[in-house]
């Protein structure tokens, strides 16, 4: 085995550590670190593991509540009480950089990693969601990324090579998600996908998993009980994923794009065995602590369990199962090979551990013990290779408050009233079709048809409605879940974008008949050392935090993914919000689709007129500009509470959130019932321009339908609560007709549906071989 290299300033810098951080390491150790110890500190003090540039911002989130059993930061996932002795564990995490390099394996192992975070808590994983961002996959206009006044770039097509690469990333990621979820037998039942130039080469792959457990099944990741044995279980360690946490904590460059060893390789069939073995073992009371080997692998799981337990851990790397010969201590400790766990067993019950894992044919090795000296001590065949105090390593990384500065380029300096002078609108008829064809708005059926969303037979509402709805039979509970974020809003107003992400997530749950419970978030931003990026992060966090407090939805955990940029661009800021809600009664489950001809259609909320940051401007005019819509939290709460009350009273047949594309898109989507398409006869009394009526994205609006005989009762209830509302018209067949003060517009529903349903399939199959479905 070759000798370790000398630790030089150049080597320290290559490991992503600042000179002052290296000095701090020397003070902690009382000496210079060796090469292996330098690698350990580099991954544990990376942004990906330590959140050293974001942790102070995260403290702004509300994290407590009467139903919170495990708070953010305490364990691998947050845990929320749902009544009758049952709880849910859920979390969202990213695998952005790996997916940019190897989209299939990057996405697949992202799914595997979030599943392990859930069953580590003692919960059986029930379902998955994902929130994805890619560059454009259609060859249409490129939005003007300036202020729109100097130069109109709307006619410039996207370069074909970039489009093809975006399609490769998109199809590869979808295949990876489908592969892992389908093979392990956990349904992917919802999520969101957006396409924008800022994500070219920088896709965002955020994956959410939820599991269910009894309160007494809750497992902890602490190395408790001095003398207790430490077991390594799961797949053998290889060189895949080496130092992946450090890789994820720097910008993507041409050099890092060739860093393929940093991308892990997953095996969902092995993870299924590991899952069942761990849950069976947890039921035996033989476990004192359990921890996933995720980011930073064996290093992270060892020092974090010791730090949580206030103990130490000593391991011998010679006992670690390996699949490659000649691995160095550095490689073994920093490998991020998948499907591995660290288990602290109760002394005297070692044979139970061995018997369970032998039954499931999962590798299992006793590699060390819990000590009382607070040290992470690593030996290799008896020779000491690393000795570090566990708590400073795991919990005392340096924390920073980076410089924050509002971008000098002001993309949001126009008032909503100025659009008439700035744009020459295509006809409203063609604009709606353009919006429905846009892949960000179009049906995602090409994607979710590749996911087995019916495995475990708990999915109640199929993908495509406002939120996913899932029945947990063993608990007799009905859950709803959603992921939401409008990155364009966050680019043009990050605080308002963060506020709206929370409000829209709650609105989607409300439209499904659920009461929101709690949030997990994934903060996707650029390099925090750049003041404009850090300003966006701070603003968005404060917007999310403020609105979570207003909605009573604590943040129970999540992920921060920074450095999402390349030399070409930084991603639009994307603070993804995943929210979980509870539906009390099966009769309250509501979908967005119209149900019967003649039903009344009512808009709960105002018609609105806010055109800034709208998809209409982006898709139809190639402009990413304007002030995003403003959120009135009190009105939002009043609208949502009223709609939930109407649902529970049995008065609502359908409910659909008005979001991207505005009222016209919401009405069209409500017509696309999978069991039989409908139309609508709509009349809107407003003096606004047609495009402002139809395509503005003002907040706090929900389109509902009800039986014609119930319409007056519904509006009486809304009037009694001073909720703005309008009787828009009625459900029809074959045609969507909208009459305004200026025009009478009409679209055959079959044409709109064809635009919307087939847009993504046509995009990915253009000028290439058809993309196979799994």
Q: Dihedrals φ, ψ of 157, to 5°?
A: -75, 155
Tell me if residue 95 is catalytic.
yes
Transcribe 411-472 into DSSP letters.
Answer: S----GGGHHHH--PPPHHHHHHHHHHSTTTS--HHHHTTS-TTGGG-EEE-BTBSSEEEEE
**215 is an active site residue:** no
| 67-106 CB burial, b ≥16 within 10 A, e <16 | bbbbbbbbbbbbbbbbeeebbbbbbbbbbbbbbbbbbbbb
Centre a 10 Å sphere on the Cβ of residue 180 and count the other Cβ atoms it contains: 28
Cα 625 from Cα 611, distance rounded (Å):
10
Q: Which helix (H) or strand (E) holds 518?
A: strand 515-524
Positive or negative, the CA dihedral 41, 42, 47, 52 is positive
Q: Are 507 and 486 in contact (CB under 8 A)?
A: no
Helix 662-671 and helix 428-437: axis angle, to 10°?
70
Which position among 15, 48, 588, 656 bears the catalytic label? Answer: 48
Helix (H, G, I), strand (E, B) or coil at 13: helix
Measured between alpha carbons, how far is 496 from 546 in angstroms, rounded to an integer? 10
Sheet of strand 340-345: strand arrangement: 287-292, 340-345, 229-234, 364-371, 312-316, 375-380, 383-389
The half-sphere exposure of 13 on its side-chain side, counting CA atoms within 13 A, is: 3
Query: How far apart are alpha carbons 606 and 408 in whole angstroms?
Result: 34
Q: What is the DSSP string of 71-83?
A: -TTTSSSEEEEEE
Give the active site residue among 95, 453, 615, 621.
Answer: 95
d(CA 169, CA 104): 8
Q: Which residues are catalytic?
A: 48, 95
């Amino acid at each position: 085995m070759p000798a370790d290299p000398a630790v030089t300033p150049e080597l320290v810098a290559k490991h992503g550590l600042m000179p002052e951080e290296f000095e701090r390491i020397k003070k902690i150790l009382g000496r210079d670190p060796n090469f292996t110890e330098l690698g350990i500190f580099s991954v544990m003090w990376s942004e990906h593991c330590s959140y050293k540039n974001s942790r102070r911002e995260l403290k702004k989130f509300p994290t407590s509540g009467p139903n919170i059993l495990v708070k953010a930061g305490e364990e691998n996932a947050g845990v929320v009480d749902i009544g009758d002795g049952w709880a849910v564990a859920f979390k969202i995490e990213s695998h952005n950089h790996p997916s940019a390099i190897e989209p299939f394996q990057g996405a697949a192992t992202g799914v595997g990693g979030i599943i392990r975070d859930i069953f580590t808590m003692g919960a059986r994983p029930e379902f998955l969601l994902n929130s994805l961002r890619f560059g454009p996959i259609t060859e249409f206009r490129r939005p003007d990324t300036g202020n729109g006044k100097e130069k109109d770039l709307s006619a410039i097509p996207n370069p074909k090579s970039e489009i093809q690469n975006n399609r490769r990333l998109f199809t590869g990621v979808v295949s990876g998600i489908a592969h892992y979820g389908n093979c392990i037998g956990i349904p992917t039942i919802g999520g969101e996908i957006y396409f924008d130039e800022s994500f070219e080469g920088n896709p965002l792959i955020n994956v959410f998993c939820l599991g269910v457990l009894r309160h007494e099944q809750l497992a902890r990741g602490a190395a408790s009980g001095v003398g207790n044995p430490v077991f390594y279980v799961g797949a053998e360690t290889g060189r895949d994923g080496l130092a992946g946490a450090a890789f994820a904590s720097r910008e993507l460059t041409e050099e890092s794009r060739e860093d393929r060893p940093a991308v892990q390789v997953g095996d969902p069939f092995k993870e299924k065995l590991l899952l069942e073995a761990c849950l069976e073992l947890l039921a035996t009371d033989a476990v004192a602590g359990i921890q996933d080997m995720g980011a930073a692998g064996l290093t992270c799981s060892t020092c974090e369990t010791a730090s949580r337990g206030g103990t130490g851990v000593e391991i011998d790397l010679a006992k670690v199962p390996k699949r490659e010969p000649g691995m160095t201590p550095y490689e073994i400790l920093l490998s991020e090979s998948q499907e591995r766990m660290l288990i602290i067993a109760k002394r005297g019950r070692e044979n139970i551990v061995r018997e369970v894992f032998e039954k499931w044919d999962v590798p299992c090795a006793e590699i060390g013990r819990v000590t009382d000296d607070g040290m992470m001590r690593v030996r290799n065949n008896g020779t000491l290779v690393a000795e570090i105090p566990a708590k400073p390593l795991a919990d005392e990384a340096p924390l920073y408050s980076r410089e924050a500065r509002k971008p000098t380029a002001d993309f949001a300096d126009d008032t909503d009233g100025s659009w008439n002078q700035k744009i020459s609108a295509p006809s409203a008829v063609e604009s709606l079709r353009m919006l429905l064809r846009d892949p960000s708005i179009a049906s995602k059926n090409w994607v979710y048809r590749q996911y087995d969303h019916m495995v475990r037979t708990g999915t109640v509402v199929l993908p495509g409605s406002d939120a996913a709805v899932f029945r947990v039979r063993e608990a007799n509970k009905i859950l709803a879940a959603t992921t939401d974020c409008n990155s364009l809003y966050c680019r043009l107003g990050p605080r308002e974008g963060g506020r709206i992400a929370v409000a829209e997530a709650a609105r989607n749950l409300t439209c499904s008949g659920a009461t929101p419970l709690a949030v997990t978030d994934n903060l996707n931003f650029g390099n925090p050392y750049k003041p404009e990026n850090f300003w966006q992060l701070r603003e968005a966090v404060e917007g999310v935090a403020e609105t979570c407090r207003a909605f009573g939805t604590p943040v129970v955990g999540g992920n921060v993914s920074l450095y999402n940029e390349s030399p070409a661009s930084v991603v639009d800021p994307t603070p993804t919000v995943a929210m979980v809600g509870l539906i009390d009664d099966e009769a309250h489950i509501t979908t967005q689709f119209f149900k019967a001809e003649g039903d009344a259609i009512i808009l709960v909320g105002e018609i609105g007129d806010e055109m800034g940051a709208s998809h209409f401007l982006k898709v139809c005019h190639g402009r990413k500009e304007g002030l995003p819509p403003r959120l009135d939290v009190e009105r939002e709460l009043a609208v949502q509470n009223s709609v939930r009350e109407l649902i529970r009273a049995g008065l609502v047949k359908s409910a659909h959130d008005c979001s991207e594309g505005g009222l016209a898109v919401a009405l069209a989507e409500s017509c696309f019932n999978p069991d039989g398409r409908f139309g609508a006869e709509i009349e809107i009394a407003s003096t606004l321009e047609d495009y402002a009526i139809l395509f503005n994205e003002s907040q706090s609006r929900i389109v509902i339908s009800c039986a014609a005989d119930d319409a007056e009762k519904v509006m009486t209830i809304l009037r009694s609560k001073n909720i703005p509302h309008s009787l828009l018209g009625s459900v029809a067949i074959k045609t969507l007709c909208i009459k305004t003060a200026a025009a009478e517009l009409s679209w055959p529903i079959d044409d709109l549906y064809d635009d919307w349903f087939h847009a993504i399939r046509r995009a990915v199959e253009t000028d290439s071989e058809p993309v196979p479905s799994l």
